[in-house]
Structure 1
Amino acid sequence: MSKRYEPETALGRIVNELEETAIAVILGAMTLITFTNVVLRYGFNTGLIWGLEATSFLFAWLVLFGVSYAVKVTAHLGVDAILNLVPRPTRRVMGMIAAAVCLAYGFLLMKGAWDYWANFANLPQTTGRWFPTGLEEMKRTSYRAWYAVVDIPMPEFLRFLEPLMNEGEEYEKLPRFIPYFILPFGMALLLFRFIQATARLVRGEQDSLIVSHEAEDAVEDASKLNWEE
């Protein structure tokens, strides 16, 4: 099993609670919607029209929350065959190079996610091909917040968004910028986790981004169970 990372700062604890709470709520909502749909379909020959789309969006949220969460608990797959062949100072340098690549990758993902989400949120995209050099000038024709999903109805408690995002026009369905918000938010969480991991490397608390060995731990746990039996 992967080691549990205990956050040291107040911000780390807040992000930790946010991720774990969100994952639990999303899993519960997916289970509830799916179970309700099964009961309605086989028991009453009906169903939630918006159930499949809602579950799909929730699954996307779960995946994107899980990406950053897996960085925190070191659950992503890693290969350390080469790292084990080099001395510790070299291993640490290689770890720093890997961390730099991860930071650049996370930053690019966040830029791309923001630019995609901005299309649906009446917000400007960033300029620059690889790294943001500023924000584009917004034009009237750039507004896309009226785009809506296919089946999920607009919740009444979100009607206050209509004068802000849709010029007072009513949304029949949920606007897309709401479920799509997980794209920039999830990538920001991923970048935050990469920064945390890099900081631990700099402080010398670990030599690489791989700080757990799930296969070896599983074999060890199995051997302990067999020994106890």
Structure 2
Amino acid sequence: MSTLLRIWARFEEGFIAFLLAAMTLVTFVYVVLNNLYTLFYDIADLWEGGNEFFSAIGDFILDLAQSMTWSTALTKALFAWLLFFGIAYGVRTAGHLGVDILVKLTPRPVQRVLGILACLACLIYAALITVGSYDWVRVLYTAGIGAEDLDHFGIKQWHIGLIVPFGFTMVLLRFAEIFVRILQNRQTGLGLADEAHDVLKLTEHEEQK
């Protein structure tokens, strides 16, 4: 079981890196193409002997740029996948910010009780979103509506929306793991990020240098 968890953790990190790289690459290529064709038009205007040659290159790049109208829609879809996939990853890695200054002022048993209540609230919320988004994706699947600017690639709206129930299912599982750890006294809260604590540690480390 631990091996499968490690494999999934690696997959999470690799998939998030892939989404970020794909978003960056698509945006970079689109921006370059939209600014590169003017360079060849300018060269064609300056160099009379190569006017037709450089103009042809400029026309070719301009056609490529105009044909990439799908790039914005694809970037939005990739960002949506990154967002909903990253929510569960943030829960696992304590990446979400916590506002628990008052909770930490209470005794440890009280912190544990508050942690259980907070975790139950998160579980209920994640379960509601999972069920609701599943029904939403089922409606999109039945309708068969194509995704904006991506329909000619065979991509439907339900393909993009599928990440919502999947992502919140993962969130549900992550909070279930936290709930079990709290019941086992292995932690007291949700394990959220503490910026103030991180700043203090960083300051102490700098002073030691």
Shorter-chain TM-score category?
A: 0.7 to 0.9
CA distance in 1, matches of 2:119, 2:194: 18
1:211–1:55 distance in 2 versus 1, CA, 3 Å: closer
Q: Which runs of 5+ in 1 are unaligned?
A: 1-7, 122-142, 156-172
Pick from 102, 106, 130 the counterpart of residue 86 of structure 1. Answer: 106
Partners of 1:68 and 1:189 within 8 A in 2: yes
- State yes or no: 1:100 paired with 2:120: yes
Instruction: Give the conservation status (yes or no) of the 8 Å contact 1:92–1:207.
Output: yes
The answer on whether the counterparts of 2:123 and 2:175 sit within 8 Å (CA) in structure 1 is yes
In terms of fraction of residues, the more strand-rich structure is 1
What are the Cα deviations for residues 6-43 of structure 1, in whole angstroms up to 9, with x where unaligned? Answer: xx734432432232121011001001100100111111
Flag the 1:84–1:73 CA change in 2: closer, same or farther, 3 A: same
Q: Distance in 2 between matches of 1:59 and 1:100?
A: 29
Structure with the higher fraction of residues in helix conformation = 2
Structure 1 Cα separation of the partners of residues 155 and 2 of structure 2: 36
Q: Write the letter of the residue equivalent to 2:9.
A: N
| 1:144 paired to 2:143 | yes
102-111 vs 203-212, which deviates more? 203-212
Q: 1:51 to 1:177 in 2, by over 3 A?
A: same
What is the match of residue 183 of structure 1? 164
Cα deviation 1:148-195 (Å, max 9, x = unaligned): 01212544xxxxxxxxxxxxxxxxx42122111111111111111111
Distance change >3 Å, CA 82–CA 205, structure 1 → 2: same
Which residue does 2:29 correspond to in 1? 36
Q: State which of 5, 12, 15 in structure 2 corresponds to 1:12.
A: 5
SS at match of 1:150: coil
Percent of paired sites with the same residue? 34
**AA partner of residue 132 (structure 2):** G
Amino acid in the other structure paired with 2:13: E
Q: Which has the larger radius of gyration?
A: 2
Q: Does 1:53 align with 2:46?
A: no
Task: Check 1:224–1:179 CA distance in 2 against 1; reply closer, same or farther (3 A cut).
Answer: same
How far is the alpha carbon of 1:208 from its aligned partner? 0.9
Could you list the runs of 4 or more consecutive aligned residues of structure 1 that deviate by over 6 angstroms after TM superposition? Answer: none
Instruction: Tell me the distance in 2 between the aligned counterparts of 1:43 and 1:203.
Output: 60
Distance 1:34 1:50 in 2: 11
| 8 Å CA contact retained: 2:77, 2:160 | yes
TM-score, normalised by the number of residues in structure 1:
0.73
Return the structure number with greater relative CO, CA threshold 8 A, min gap 6: 1
| Partner residue, 1:196 | 177
Instruction: Give the aligned residue type for 1:148.
Output: G
Match of 2:44 in 1: none
Aligned residue for 2:100, secondary structure, equals coil
**Match for 1:224 among 195, 202, 205?**
205
TM-score of the aligned structures, taking structure 2 as reference length: 0.80
- Asked if the contact 1:57/1:179 (under 8 Å) is kept, the reply is yes
